[in-house]
């Protein structure tokens, strides 16, 4: 009873920001993302009758108790769904700078949902996998699919209509996404806590909800028309609005550092010279810059020239879940 799956991270163009149900991970708004081809998580799940608890190995090391408790909660969801009361060894490796705002929780829970259900013989389709992955981390529901993906928020209380679906395949529109690494450190306010505080206390959150649906529709039209300028303008504006809500929270918080602003400034300067580049930022200081492949080299060079920039990773739209052959490694009897 073993399976291995790989899932790629995604970057939100229209952000998921705020939950209407924290237990089921139901969002306040629908969102839109691109699955990236460079950052991923590979996870093997091996269920065994010899185990009396889940064991979680992260990047080759036994994970902390806190991390294991989180994973085990998710594994219990799989146990409930399959009716099999078995524990597992979960061996997960990230090719992502973990917790640097590069969304390893999205690829992590998407890979775990896929490997875990397969190991239990559940034979789940992508929509079911998306609903399961969502309950580990909301954005994980989008990483089941490759390319351009929408997570429809759904309206039902039980969450059965809250899942992602693909809008365009990766090869339908090749854009360049430059992931700019500023500070490879864990974030101060995790996205989960940040969105909760914002929903509960920020007077600006109502403004977010008022316009996010319009932004989503504009972004979807831009995707259909392959209109990069239209997409860029709406994704940049949407990211700024999301971050504006954090300033109104109580206590207020901010994910940006001065280095974040340096990158934003460089992007604006590139645009002033006629190069179409647009930024977006998730729940951390790092910035992702979108441009067209014809401009990716110059944009990458300009970003690398910023003193506060540690590295710039060039990504393109990537694949959805892939299953890998069984690992030879034996983690239990
Ligand atoms: C800012 O999916 O990490 O990256 O559901 O609580 O695990 P939880 O949150 P998470 O939040 C992602 C927030 C975001 C925007 C996005 O990816 O849409």
What does pTM read for this prediction? 0.96
CA dihedral of residues 205, 268, 98, 219 (deg, nearest 10): 50
Confidence at residue 96, expressed as pLDDT on a 0 to 100 scale: 77
Confidence at residue 252, expressed as pLDDT on a 0 to 100 scale: 97
Confidence at residue 332, expressed as pLDDT on a 0 to 100 scale: 73
Q: Kindly give the distance from the C-alpha atom of residue 272 to the centroid of ligand 1, in angstroms, as a whole number.
A: 31
Mutate which of 8, 70, 103 to test ligand 1's pocket (most atoms within 8 Å of Cβ)?
103
296 CB under 6 A from ligand 1? no
Confidence at residue 186, expressed as pLDDT on a 0 to 100 scale: 59
Confidence at residue 188, expressed as pLDDT on a 0 to 100 scale: 76
Confidence at residue 333, expressed as pLDDT on a 0 to 100 scale: 72
Q: Which residues contact 324 (CB under 8 A, 6 or more apart)?
A: 4, 5, 6, 42
Predicted confidence (pLDDT) per residue in 213-270, tens digit = 999 999 999 999 999 999 999 999 999 999 999 999 999 999 999 999 999 999 999 9
DSSP code of residue 317: B
31 CB under 6 A from ligand 1? yes
**Pairwise CA distance, residues 19 & 67, whole Å:** 22
Q: Kindly give the distance from the C-alpha atom of residue 16 to the centroid of ligand 1, in angstroms, as a whole number.
A: 6
Confidence at residue 97, expressed as pLDDT on a 0 to 100 scale: 62
Q: Which residues contact 240 (CB under 8 A, 6 or more apart)?
A: none
Q: Which residue in the block uniquely carries the two structure tokens 């860029």?
A: 232
DSSP code of residue 177: E
The rounded average pLDDT for each run of 10 residues, N- to C-terminus, in the chain (333 residues) is 96 98 98 97 96 96 96 98 97 76 82 98 96 98 98 98 98 97 73 95 98 98 98 98 98 94 98 98 94 98 96 96 83 72
**Pairwise CA distance, residues 312 & 288, whole Å:** 9
Q: 51 with 86: CB under 8 angstroms? A: yes
Q: How many CB atoms lie within 10 A of CB 19?
A: 17
Confidence at residue 99, expressed as pLDDT on a 0 to 100 scale: 45
**Pairwise CA distance, residues 15 & 13, whole Å:** 6
Q: 287 with 239: CB under 8 angstroms? A: no
Q: How many CB atoms lie within 10 A of CB 264?
A: 18
**Pairwise CA distance, residues 73 & 86, whole Å:** 13
List % helix, strand, coil for the chain (3-state, nearest 5). Answer: 40, 25, 35
Q: Kindly give the distance from the C-alpha atom of residue 17 to the centroid of ligand 1, in angstroms, as a whole number.
A: 7
């Amino acid at each position: 009873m073993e399976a291995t799956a790989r899932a790629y991270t995604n970057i939100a163009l229209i952000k998921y920001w705020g939950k209407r149900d924290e237990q089921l991970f139901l969002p306040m708004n629908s969102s839109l993302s691109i699955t990236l081809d460079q950052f991923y998580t590979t996870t093997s799940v091996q269920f065994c009758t010899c185990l009396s608890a889940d064991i979680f190995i992260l990047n080759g090391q036994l994970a902390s108790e806190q991390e294991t408790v989180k994973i085990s909660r998710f594994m219990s969801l799989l146990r409930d769904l399959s009716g099999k009361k078995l524990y597992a060894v979960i061996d997960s490796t990230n090719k992502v700078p973990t917790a640097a705002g590069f969304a390893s929780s999205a690829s992590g829970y998407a890979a775990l949902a896929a490997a875990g259900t397969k190991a239990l013989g559940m034979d789940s389709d992508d929509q079911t996998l998306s609903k399961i992955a969502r309950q580990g981390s909301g954005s994980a529901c989008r990483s089941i699919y490759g390319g351009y993906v929408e997570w429809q928020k759904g309206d039902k209380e039980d969450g059965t209509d809250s899942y992602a679906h693909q809008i365009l395949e990766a090869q339908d529109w090749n854009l360049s996404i430059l992931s700019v690494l500023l500070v490879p450190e864990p974030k101060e306010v995790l996205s989960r806590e940040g969105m909760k505080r914002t929903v509960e206390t920020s007077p600006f959150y109502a403004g977010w909800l008022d316009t996010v649906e319009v932004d989503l529709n504009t972004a979807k039209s831009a995707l259909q028309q392959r209109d990069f300028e239209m997409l860029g303008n709406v994704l940049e504006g949407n990211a700024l609005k999301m971050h504006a809500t954090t300033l109104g929270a109580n206590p207020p918080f901010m994910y940006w550092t001065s280095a974040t602003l340096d990158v934003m400034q460089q992007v604006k300067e590139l645009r002033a010279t006629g190069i179409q580049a647009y930024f977006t930022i998730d729940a951390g200081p790092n910035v992702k810059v979108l441009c067209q492949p014809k401009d990716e080299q110059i944009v990458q060079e300009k970003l690398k020239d910023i003193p506060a920039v540690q590295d710039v990773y060039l990504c393109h739209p990537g694949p959805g879940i892939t299953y890998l052959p069984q690992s030879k490694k034996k983690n239990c009897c």
